[in-house]
Structure 1
């Protein structure tokens, strides 16, 4: 599954676009940010709240050390309660990641999935090496019910065994992270999940499908 397009409400599209352009070195034009095969489109949030939105970006696994050094020069990593700031996920995840805070309190993540292709790049890392939006967090009042709807609507299965509070739906190329709306985001466990106004467009799933959470104000559709 691929996340092709994500509409993100923000407090100030110009300010957020400059962050992605200057800090993360991504190709940015007006209100659009290009991240490999994904496009992030920014729009004014208006009366919608910002903060508590989780996005992850994929970096090639053989460039993770360089990507970490690159990020450390421009942002502060988030830590968990034990002070850890590098996370290695085994099992079906087979990945490692680091988290950092973006504008509007975005919970951002660089993740390297070992099953995805390696890069032929060497030397210092550049933001243009990010290959896609890997994950988007979608809060749900009932995770198990939303997991079932995502599976039925788009033909997606959990990457790892779901819990009553967390269900990662998709595969290495893209994940919809369905989380309990009352569960605070890892690793800092400060911000509650928010996806109000977010619109996601998927590829590589059941075509012409639409799923909307009217209460929590987000939607996902496929081409």
Structure 2
């Protein structure tokens, strides 16, 4: 599954686009950012809340050490309660990641999935090496019910065993992270999940499907 397009409400599109262009070295116009095969479209949030949005970006697994050095020169990593700031996920995840805070309190993540192809690049990392938006967080009043709706609409299966509070749906190329709306985001456990106004377009799934959570304000559809 691929996250092809993501509409993200922000406090100021120009300011956020500048961050992605100058800090993360991504191709960005006035209100649009290219991240590999994904497009991040920015629009004014207006009265909608910002903050509490989780996005992850994929980097090739053999470039993760270089990407970590690159990010450390640009942002401060988030830590969990035990002070850890590098996370290795085994089992079906088979990945490692680091988290950092973006504009509007975005909970951002660089993740390297070992099953995905390696890169031929060497030397210093550049932001253009990010291959896609890997994850988007979607809060739910009832995770199991939303999981069932996602599975029925798009044909997505869980990457790992879901819990009552967390269900990662998709595969190595892209995941919808369905979380309990009262569960604060890992690793800092500070911000509650927010996806008001977010619209996600998926590729590689059941065509012509759509799912909306009117109460929590997000929408997912397929090309």
User: Does the TM-score normalized on the shorter chain lie above 0.5?
Assistant: yes
Runs of 4+ in structure 1 over 4 Å off: none
SS at match of 1:14: helix
Deviations 1:135-171 (A, max 9, x none): 0000000000000000000000000000000000000
SS at match of 1:49: coil
In structure 1, the partner of 2:69 is 69
Task: Flag structure 1 segments of 5+ consecutive residues without an equivalent.
Answer: none
In structure 2, the partner of 1:50 is 50
Distance 1:7 1:109 in 2: 18
1:30 Cα deviation from its structure 2 partner? 1.5
Matching of residues 31-42 of structure 1 within 5 Å? 31-42=31-42
In structure 2, the partner of 1:205 is 205
1:46 Cα deviation from its structure 2 partner? 0.2
Distance 1:30 1:12 in 2: 10
Deviations 1:13-45 (A, max 9, x none): 000000000000000011110000000000000
SS at match of 1:18: helix
In structure 2, the partner of 1:216 is 216
Task: Flag structure 2 segments of 5+ consecutive residues without an equivalent.
Answer: none
Distance 2:44 2:29 in 1: 16
Distance 2:16 2:202 in 1: 23
Deviations 1:88-122 (A, max 9, x none): 00000000000000000000000000000000000
In structure 2, the partner of 1:160 is 160
TM norm structure 1: 1.00
Distance 2:111 2:157 in 1: 20
Aligned residues: 223
Matching of residues 10-21 of structure 1 within 5 Å? 10-21=10-21
Q: Given the alignment of the two structures, is residue 125 of structure 1 paired with residue 125 of structure 2, yes or no?
A: yes
Backbone CA RMSD of aligned residues: 0.2
Deviations 1:61-88 (A, max 9, x none): 0000000000000000000000000000
In structure 2, the partner of 1:30 is 30
Distance 2:148 2:86 in 1: 31
Deviations 1:150-208 (A, max 9, x none): 00000000000000000000000000000000000000000000000000000000000
In structure 1, the partner of 2:176 is 176
